[in-house]
Every structure is written in structure tokens, then in C-alpha cells.
Structure 1
Amino acid sequence: MKRLLLAMGLALSLSACGFHLQGGAAIPPTLAGLRVEGNGPAGGSLAQATARALEREGNYPQKTGPVLRIDNAGISQRIISISPTSGAAVEFLNTLRAEISVVGADGKTLLPPQPLLLENSFSFNSANPLATSEQQNTAQRTMLRQAAQQILARVLNSPRFREAQP
């Protein structure tokens, strides 16, 4: 019983301070039906990750809705550390770059283009080179999910859209 009361008290205090669980952000009315389009080498993957995240927030794209554009999206990778004993690369830096904007169904710019930059490093055990490819793929998928969340946070919390809410 004490645990239940403690949990209820914690839930009430967190809800009062504006804390929201993931998936609890409200879609501003001006963005209802938001569609996502992407271009560039990673544009399609990033657009898909962002669209999935939007659906988890309760937004379902509509043909007549505004468009979240993700332009020139790409992921690059560079070596940042080499093993002194084996000479093999052991640490990498993935960099995702893109430009995001929102355009209304009427073609007017709702949110002007702004750059997006996300960097993540990862390392692997050089004794198991077969795992490297899978680790790189996992690191890139993680980066796409993080970028999608960052895009949503920037767009949904933009003062331009928050001011329009009641």
C-alpha cells in the first residue's frame, strides 16, 4: 500500500512539473497531419525514422498536411583511434548532417531551413573484426533514431508553433 501511495505521489509531482514521458508531446494544431520527406544519401532512412517517431506522438500524415523537409541528409564516418598494437582502427566517429524545414500545404515556409548536426563515436574489439560491420550498422540506426528525436524536439517545441497553441 505504501508503494502504491509513493508511486501515485511521484506521478502527481512529476506531472505537475511538466515532465512528459516519451510519446507525450502534443502536436501543435498547425502541424496536424505533418508529412515527412527526405533527400540525400541518408534522407530516406532519416525521414522514415522521423515519420515513425511522429506516429508514436499521435500524428498521422495527411496528403493535405504540412511537410517536414529533411534535405541533404548524409552520414559520414571517420577513424578517430587506431590500435597501437595491431594498427587496426578501433574507434570511429559517425557524423550526420542535414537541413530541416517545414513547409505548409500552401507552399509557404512555416519553419525556415536550419542545420542539423549529430555526432556519435563508437569503438569495437579489434580481436573480432567480423562484428565491426554489425556494430557500424547498429551505431547508424541508433544515430538515425537520435536524429529523429532531435528533429521532433526542435520542430514541435519551436516558438513559432508553440505560440499558435491555445
Structure 2
Amino acid sequence: MIKRNLLVMGLAVLLSACGFQLRGTGTTELTIKELDVSARNAYGETVTQLRQVLQGSGVKVYTGAPYKLVLTDEQEKQRILSYAGTGSSGEYQVTTVLNYEIRGDHDLQLKSDKIEVEKVFIHDASNLVGSDQEANTARAETRRELIQRMILRLQQITPAQLEAMQEMANNRAKADADALEAAKKAEAETPRQSPVEIPQQ
């Protein structure tokens, strides 16, 4: 027993020395330290787990933070990859697409993108309970991978990049406001034609 434990510990040391880390056990240090996280489904599993991972990574998640991560839409699709026939097993693929936005001051959109994850599981028509478990496991793994990819994307964004995106968004908003104001002014200065009077017979 002692030899076995020593062997496991030795392998763990060797693997860590090579830079290997088990999924979910590595550090997820982010340069963004404050973030407001919301979703259309405010109490959904994806946004709830994402908040937990961010907080575990040292990010202060709260309403009113300088930048906001908004999960605008999450869609799941399932399709048959292969099927052997009635009463047989088949391969199913579950695909989840997560659309998100990063917003800044004045709720201006700084970035918009999506993450797509696919998982394959076996559906056995003769074992519906087991197949349901397989499907639930595939969905849970898909969600976990979505969150991991989101964290990786957030890791690549620096405060300086956010400030640059905010400046660009401010400039776009100002240009749109100026164009709207100019259009209103031009409309107000355009003489209006009097209605044409049709002579009575």
C-alpha cells in the first residue's frame, strides 16, 4: 500500500514537472479583477457556475462593476450521428452555442462573440435510464468546457485592451449621436410644403 502511494505521488510530481495539470485544477489568473456577470436566464447553471469559477480565480463579481459580461443567448441542439436501427444503440451529438457580450461604461458594447462546444454520447434504446445519464453527463461536460473556454478568453483580455475598446465605443456612440443630431437639425430647417388644396367643383 505504501509502495503504491509512493508510486502515485512520484507520477504526480513527474507530471507536474512537465507542466501537466488536471482539467479544472490549474490556476486561472485574470487581469480583470472586477466584473459584473449576467445572463438572460439569471439563475441558469452556466452563469451560476461561471460566477463561481471567476470568484475562485480572484475576480470580484458584483453588480455595478466597471465592465459587464453578458451571456446574451445559450442554445443547445442535438442530432443523430449514427443509428443502427430499432432497439439498437446510436451516437448522438449535443452542440451548445453561447453568445456573449462585454459591455463597458454607459452600457456600450465593447466586444461580441460566441463559443461553440460539441460532445458525442451513446444512446441505447434498450437502456433508456443509462442513455439519459449519458446525455446529462454530455451536457454537464459541455457546460464545463464552455466555462473553461470563456475563462481562457477573459484571460487574454487586459485592462489596457478594455480601455482601448471603451474609447472606440465612446467614439462610435458620439459619431452616432452627432449624425442623429445633424439629421434632426436638417429636418427642422427643411421648409414644409403646404397641403395642396383641391378646388371644389
TM-score w.r.t. the length of structure 2 is 0.61
- Aligned position for 1:91: 91
- Structure 1 residues not aligned, in runs of 5+: 15-20
Other-structure match for 1:101: 101
Say which is worse superposed, 52-61 or 138-147, in terms of deviation: 52-61
Match of 1:123 in 2: 122
Any conservation in 2 of the 1:35–1:68 contact (CA below 8 Å)? yes
> CA offset at residue 131 of structure 1?
1.4
Structure 1 residues 131, 10: CA separation in 2 closer, same or farther (over 3 Å shift)?
closer
CA distance in 1, matches of 2:60, 2:75: 26
Kindly provide the amino acid, as one letter, of the partner of residue 81 in structure 1: S
Query: Percent same amino acid at aligned positions?
Result: 19
RMSD (Å), alpha carbons: 3.4
Give the structure with the higher percent helix. Answer: 2
**What is the CA–CA distance in structure 2 between the aligned matches of 1:125 and 1:10, rounded to whole Å?**
37
Question: 2:113 — aligned with what?
Answer: 114
| Equivalent residue pairs, number | 151
Match of 1:25 among 24, 28, 31: 28
Q: Tell me: higher relative CO, structure 1 or 2? Use CA pairs within 8 A at least 6 residues apart.
A: 1
CA offset at residue 49 of structure 1?
2.2
In the other structure, the counterpart of 1:53 is 53
Offset, 1:47: 1.2
- What amino acid sits opposite 1:108 in the alignment? L
Could you tell me whether the CA contact under 8 Å between 1:35 and 1:51 is conserved in 2? Answer: no
User: Of the two, which has the highest radius of gyration?
Assistant: 2
Distance of 1:57 and 1:27 partners within structure 2: 7
Amino acid at match of 1:73: E
What amino acid is aligned across from residue 40 of structure 2 in structure 1?
N
Q: How far apart are the structure 1 equivalents of 2:126 and 2:160?
A: 51
Structure 2 unmatched runs, 5+: 1-6, 163-201
Q: Match for residue 68 of structure 1?
A: 69
